Amino acid sequence: MNKVMLIGNLTKDPELINTNSGIAVCRFTLAVSRRFQNSNGERETDFLNIVVWRQQGENCAKYLRKGSKCCVIGAIQTRSYEAQDGSKRYITEITADEVEFLTSKSASAEYDNMPAPFSGKTEKKDVSELEPIEDDSLPF
């Protein structure tokens, strides 16, 4: 059985083209973090090429952007071709059967416009601007 499920983020905006027969095909690269840390304590990331066909490919091109999180379910496919210099090149890619958008367009727009404490962005303040908390009801 050839089936793969990946969750990751797009490394750049998807590219949509149409074949000579008019079938839509969308391509993008998905950055997927590995489950375990390496010997240096870092999580490595794999960059996997994804291919999505027809209407689903059109939807990917319409709604996904660089940084979007999505889940791809599909199959691993390899192919080869002869380069202009005569060498044989091999490509491994994931042909998607299903793509689930995990970051909605509205959610990402709302996230970008949230104030710093909620969006994960930090505001830098000078120490002299901070005010002490004087509240006897604090438990510490």
Going by C-alpha positions, the residue among 61, 54, 44 that lies closest to residue 8 is: 44
Q: Is the pLDDT of residue 118 over 50?
A: no
pTM of the shown model: 0.71
Domain span holding position 95: 4-114
User: How distant is the alpha carbon of residue 56 from its chain centre?
Assistant: 16
| Domain CATH number, residue 34 | 2.40.50.140
Residue 75 lies in a domain: yes
How would residue 103 be classed by pLDDT, with cut points 50, 70 and 90?
confident
Residue 72 lies in a domain: yes
The SS3 assignment for 57 reads helix
Average pLDDT value for residue range 95-110: 80
Residue 124 lies in a domain: no
CB distance 105 to 63 below 8 Å: yes
Residue 138 lies in a domain: no
What is the C-alpha separation between 37 and 47, in angstroms, rounded?
17
Two tokens at 39? 């010997």
In the Cβ-directed half-sphere of 48, how many Cα atoms lie within 13 Å? 29
Residue 100 lies in a domain: yes
Residue 45 lies in a domain: yes
What is the C-alpha separation between 34 and 42, in angstroms, rounded?
10
Residue 128 lies in a domain: no
Residue 42 lies in a domain: yes
Two tokens at 132? 């002490």
Contacts of 77 (CB under 8 A, 6+ apart): 51, 92, 93, 94, 95
Q: Is the pLDDT of residue 138 over 80?
A: no
Report the domain count for the chain.
1
Q: Is the pLDDT of residue 44 over 90?
A: yes
pLDDT digits (tens, 9 = 90+) for 46-87: 999 999 999 999 999 999 999 999 999 999 999 999 999 999
